[in-house]
């Protein structure tokens, strides 16, 4: 492998049913093609202690590790600087309330990708949770995304589905836009009209991005659907749910393989010359950090959570409540116990109040900031990455893109297959 692999979003056609079948002890594994390409003892005069070093134990790194170990018989060392598996998908039970909490904010698994869904069924059962988001604005509660119920409640009317398109068109015309949308505010107004935009989008967006919506790109808002019916489900995917016994157990099962060695609390950048102990590195950490920020730092948004325990069994009545009013400093409140209606009720509960801000050097990166400057930096780092030998870059951090969990799994499945087919 003379140059690195740099992965972007994987399209559904790159995955096909049956491509990643379940493995059992009696089944023939794929040939360990990577090991066959070099001496297992030395490579360039350096002792090899493992075939592959995987950096990062989130979905991308964990799935790559599992596929290379179970699917190709390779020896994999998986490291993470955190003390736990799962990256930002990690969940844990709060000892005081007994509620399973998503440590980095709500993570609802959803996908229409049958290959991804069937693959994960090998490691976890998912409950029947269907995500519904509510939002508070001016002391009233509405459902999001904006749907027929939201519109009727907001305007105090009783539109029928066939009337919604014409109603919204009149709202848009009254806004008086004269040219194609050039920013997020204009794009939202072109979709909704000004009243709905100012109520549900403007203030929330200002808090989420700490920026005037007129300074943000228009394509940010195209991901928010507007429904002409009373469907309150947040996602339209075929499959959705939360692992019955939590994300932590999913990752433990995923990585329970004799050819996978786990090393938590291990920083890749402190390995130094020991990186040469591995024939291949699969890197899912920050792309700019790998190159020591030589072209500049890529910007990220981060989150802070205020944790509060409540003496009552239910604090807000739903899993996620957004707060659209601009004068309220936080964006939303998570109450995780609603993710598991199948579990025995608890007498107390816990909430995480979420605040959004720009990430500093020591902060946990959550969301990439797709400004022209960052996109130019990304192109520079991608060019550097393509010049690296025996390194695969991928995942949310390693590709500087927002990935839903199913996107990360799909990207990992394709990455692992390509590694097996194209050994160094």
Q: For residue range 117-164, what is the model confidence (pLDDT) as tens digits?
A: 999 999 999 999 999 999 999 999 999 999 999 999 999 999 999 999
Domain count of the fold of the chain:
2
148 burial class (0-12, 13-18, 19+ CB within 10 angstroms)? buried
Bridge partners of 358, per DSSP, are 301
Asked if residue 403 and residue 277 are part of one domain, the reply reads yes
Task: Please give the sequence-ordered ranges of beta strands (E in DSSP) within 213-368, or none if there are none.
Answer: 239-241, 260-264, 278-283, 300-310, 320-323, 332-334, 349-358, 367-368
Domain identity same for 20 and 71 = yes
Q: Give residue 334's pLDDT.
A: 98
Q: Is residue 229 part of a domain?
A: no
Closest CA to 23 of 393, 394, 416, 423: 416
Tokens of 336: 């995780």
Same domain as 394, residue 289: yes
The residue from 179, 205, 223 where one domain ends is 223
pLDDT at 423 over 60: no
DSSP-derived secondary structure for 53-117: EEE--SHHHHHHHHIIIIIH---EEEEESSSSSSGGG-EEE-TTT--EEETTS---EEE--HHHH
User: Do 187 and 287 lie in a common domain?
Assistant: no
pLDDT at residue 275, as a whole number: 84
Residue 26 pLDDT > 60: no
Q: Which of 4-18, 26-40, 183-197, 339-353 has the lowest mean pLDDT?
A: 26-40
**Contacts by 303-306, CB closer than 8 A, 24 or more apart:** 303/104, 303/105, 303/354, 303/355, 303/356, 303/357, 303/364, 303/366, 304/354, 304/355, 304/357, 305/105, 305/334, 305/352, 305/353, 305/354, 305/355, 306/330, 306/352, 306/353, 306/355
40/180 same-domain check: no
Does residue 157 sit in the same domain as residue 276?
Answer: no
Q: Are 385 and 4 in contact (CB under 8 A)?
A: yes
- Does 416 lie in the same domain as 291? yes
Domain residue limits at 141: 133-223
Q: Residue 229 above 90 pLDDT?
A: yes
Task: Decide if pLDDT at 198 tops 60.
Answer: yes
* Residue finishing a domain among 202, 223, 244: 223
In this predicted structure, the answer to whether residue 28 has a pLDDT above a threshold of 80 is: no
pLDDT at 8: 53
| For residue 27, pLDDT beyond 70 | no
pLDDT of residue 422: 76
pTM exceeds 0.75, yes or no: yes
* Domain identity same for 173 and 80: no
Q: What is the pLDDT of residue 376?
A: 97
Q: What integer pLDDT is reported at residue 24 of this predicted model?
A: 34
**One domain for residues 151 and 50:** no
pLDDT score of 15 more than 70? no
Percent of the chain scoring above 70 in pLDDT:
87
pLDDT of 224 reads 60
Please give the residue that has the higher pLDDT: either 276 or 201.
201
Q: State the pLDDT at residue 222.
A: 65
Domain assignment present for 99: no
Same domain, 214 and 144: yes
Looking at the domain assignment, is residue 173 inside a domain? yes
Which has more confidence, 276 or 196? Answer: 196
Q: Does residue 168 belong to any structural domain of this protein?
A: yes
- Of 203, 223, 243, the last residue of a domain is 223
Residues 381 and 280 in one domain: yes
pLDDT at residue 2 in the model: 42
Instruction: Identify whether residues 152 and 214 lie together within a single domain.
Output: yes
Q: Please say if the pLDDT value at position 312 is more than 60.
A: yes
Q: What is the mean pLDDT of residues 371-375?
A: 92
| pLDDT given for residue 221 in this prediction | 76
Among 10-24, 215-229, 377-391, which stretch is predicted with the lowest mean pLDDT? 10-24
Q: Does residue 303 lie within any of the structural domains?
A: no
In a domain, 80, yes or no: yes
Residue 28: inside a domain: yes
pLDDT, tens digit, 9 for 90 and up, residues 92-120: 999 999 999 999 999 999 999 999 999 99
Any idea what the CATH number is for the domain that residue 383 is in?
3.40.50.720
Q: What's the mean pLDDT when you consider all of the chain? A: 89
Q: Is residue 401 in a domain?
A: yes
Task: Report pLDDT for 272.
Answer: 85
Secondary element (H or E) of residue 195: helix 194-196
- At 7 the pLDDT is 55
């Amino acid at each position: 492998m003379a140059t690195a692999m740099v992965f972007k979003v994987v399209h559904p056609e790159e995955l096909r049913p049956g491509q990643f079948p379940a493995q059992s002890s009696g089944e023939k594994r794929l040939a360990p093609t990577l090991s066959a390409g070099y001496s297992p003892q030395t490579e360039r005069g350096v002792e090899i202690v493992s075939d592959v070093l995987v950096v990062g134990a989130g979905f991308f790194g964990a799935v790559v590790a599992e596929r290379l170990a179970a699917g190709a018989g390779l020896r994999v060392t998986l490291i993470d600087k955190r003390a736990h598996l799962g990256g930002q998908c990690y969940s844990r039970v709060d000892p005081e309330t007994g509620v399973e909490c998503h440590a980095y904010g709500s993570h609802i698994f959803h996908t229409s990708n049958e290959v991804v869904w069937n693959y994960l069924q090998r490691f976890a059962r998912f409950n029947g949770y269907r995500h519904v988001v509510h939002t508070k604005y001016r002391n009233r509660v509405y459902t999001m995304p904006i749907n027929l119920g939201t519109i009727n409640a907001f305007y105090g009317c009783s539109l029928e589905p066939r009337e919604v398109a014409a109603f919204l068109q009149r709202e848009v015309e009254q806004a008086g836009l004269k040219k194609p949308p050039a920013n997020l505010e204009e794009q939202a107004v072109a979709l909704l009209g000004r009243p709905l935009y100012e109520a549900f989008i403007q203030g929330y967006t200002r808090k989420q991005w700490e920026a005037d919506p007129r300074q943000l790109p228009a394509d940010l808002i195209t991901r928010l659907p507007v429904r002409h019916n009373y469907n309150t489900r947040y996602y339209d995917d075929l499959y959705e749910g939360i692992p019955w016994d939590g994300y932590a157990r999913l990752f433990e099962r995923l990585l329970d393989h004799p050819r996978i060695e786990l090393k938590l609390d291990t920083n890749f950048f402190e390995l130094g010359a020991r990186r040469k102990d591995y024939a291949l590195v699969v890197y899912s950490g920050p792309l700019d950090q790998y190159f020591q920020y030589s072209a500049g730092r890529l910007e990220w948004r981060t989150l802070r959570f205020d944790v509060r325990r409540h003496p009552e069994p239910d604090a807000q009545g739903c899993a996620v409540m957004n707060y659209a009013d601009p004068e309220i400093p936080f964006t939303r409140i998570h109450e995780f116990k609603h993710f598991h209606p199948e579990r025995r009720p608890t007498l107390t509960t816990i909430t995480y109040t979420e605040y959004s801000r720009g990430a500093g050097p020591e902060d946990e990166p959550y969301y990439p900031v797709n400004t022209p400057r960052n996109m130019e930096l990304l192109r520079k780092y991608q060019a550097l990455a393509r010049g690296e030998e025996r390194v695969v870059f991928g995942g949310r951090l390693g590709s500087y893109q927002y990935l839903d969990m199913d996107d990360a799994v799909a990207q990992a499945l394709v990455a692992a297959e390509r590694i097996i087919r194209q050994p160094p």
